[in-house]
Amino acid sequence: MSVTVRFAPSPTGRLHAGNIRTALINFLFARKTGGRLIFRLDDTDRERSTDEFAEGIREDLAWLGITYASEVHQSDRFARYAEAVEKLKSAGRLYPAYETPEELELKRKRQLARGRPPVYDRAALKLTPEERAKLEAEGRRPHWRFRLETRDVVWEDLVRGRQHVDASSLSDPVLVRADGTYLYTLPSVVDDIELGITHVIRGEDHVVNTAPQIQLFEALGAAPPAFGHHSLLVNADGQALSKRDRSISIKGMREEGIEALAVASYCATIGTSDPVAPHANLDELVRGFDFAKLSRAPARFDPAELRALNAKLLHMLPFEAVAGRLKGMGVEGGATFWGAVRGNLAVLGDAGTWWEVVRNPLSPVIEDRDLCRRAAELLPPEPWDETTWERWSTAIKQATGAKGKALFQPLRLALTGREHGPELKLLLPLIGRARALARLEGKTA
């Protein structure tokens, strides 16, 4: 049996790091097993779902390199859900209930007051046809509940291990609202059956849905798939993260200049037993993927850690991996330039700053006039390479007696206008003799 999994966001917002963990786990598992990933848009809520959000989700997935075999829209499939509803009704597994939200709330309060769990009492199941007719004559429209079988439901969760739920402790879930719209449960199961989903992998906020869903698979005549529920994200202080937190928005990360591979590396390793480390491609993540590595403890999402990981990733990327994007930024430096500056970048955009330092006029900072004058006189003739700096700085040291920071800092400030940056032995040949000379003389060059 080949693996088929799905990533099923609702297009009611943009993706955040939590969604991307789910998407990645599904994607990596499919790739590792030679299976397929289906992208399913859970857009039954026509009011909150928008095409813009759907497009935004596609854009984020594409940026991260998360590809899928096909895209399915729940909004195209209402007829299938209606068929399932009929099937459940005729099997006596879907029954109309008429309580208003206020009446249900009152029942819950009474149960709690008596120390009982607030489970729906199935009063609607006991209604006679006359009583139902009377309620409908009063203008009440029914919502529809799935009658659970009161037995234990057990599954081997891919992340959490053996799970055991006593279905008699659960309320019969509402599948269809009074206005005829569907809650998420039924469409999801109908789709999982028809798309041949073998593994449902999602966040642990869905653990509570699993026992009713397993019964629903069975009521619709299908064998339930395997289930895996990964832990959710918390922030650096251990608090649950809200969707509205901008730091976890994928679009926000992209706009901040974070590399897609840094986001993928980070989201695929937090909450696992693997160290958080940069990976140069998704294949590496595929090779390392294993459900056994997923921790049950919450995954800590720390924007500062992601930024640090991004810098580490840039420091190891070869020129070929960034050449096209550098060109797009107007940075024409080649592999030598990249090799010189990559260790100093927080985001790729910073390469533009160093390109300007080596290629555009800048105002030098002259901290030690005498030293700079001597240094200018001692500049060797071109051609220059990585060994030039060593020869030149040794000569300045001998001529002036300056050494250590007193030698290097004035030279760095004069040559680059900055206190920190890439190694001068790498920058010097890129700056070139004419520009270096002028800058040491205090001229804008």
Distance CA 197, CA 414 (A): 64
Structure tokens at 440: 């040491």
Residue with Cβ nearer ligand GLU (27 or 98): 27
Amino acid letter at 301?
F
Q: How far is the CB of 419 from ligand GLU (least distance, A)?
A: 48
Q: How far is the CB of 9 from ligand GLU (least distance, A)?
A: 5
Amino acid letter at 410?
P
Residue with Cβ nearer ligand GLU (229 or 439): 229
**Bond from prior residue into 298 cis (ω within 30 degrees of 0):** no
Quickly list DSSP for 182-230: BPSHHHHHHHHHHTT--EEEEEGGGHHHHHHHHHHHHHTT----EEEEE
Q: How far is the CB of 342 from ligand GLU (least distance, A)?
A: 38
Site residues, ligand GLU (CB under 6 A): 8-10, 42, 184, 188, 200, 202, 206
Residue with Cβ nearer ligand GLU (200 or 276): 200
Structure tokens at 57: 């989700």
Residue with Cβ nearer ligand GLU (28 or 440): 28
Residue with Cβ nearer ligand GLU (232 or 347): 232
Q: How far is the CB of 420 from ligand GLU (least distance, A)?
A: 45
Q: How far is the CB of 384 from ligand GLU (least distance, A)?
A: 58
Nearest Cα to 120, choosing from 144, 84, 141, 92?
144
Contacts of 306 by beta carbon, 8 Å cutoff, 6+ apart: 253, 258, 262, 263, 266
Residue with Cβ nearer ligand GLU (54 or 371): 54
Q: How far is the CB of 41 from ligand GLU (least distance, A)?
A: 9
* SS3 call for 380: coil
Residue with Cβ nearer ligand GLU (7 or 289): 7
Distance CA 339, CA 336 (A): 5
Q: Are strands 70-73 and 36-41 parallel, antiparallel or unpaired?
A: parallel
Residue with Cβ nearer ligand GLU (9 or 422): 9
Amino acid letter at 259?
E
Quick check: 262 and 310 in contact, CB under 8 A?
A: yes
Q: Which residues pair with 249 in a beta bridge?
A: 16
Q: Which residue has the tokens 């760095």?
A: 412
Q: How far is the CB of 154 from ligand GLU (least distance, A)?
A: 19
Q: How far is the CB of 334 from ligand GLU (least distance, A)?
A: 45
Amino acid letter at 417?
G
Task: Give the number of other Cβ atoms within 10 Å of residue 343's Cβ.
Answer: 14
Give the rounded distance of the alpha carbon of 277 from its chain centre.
15
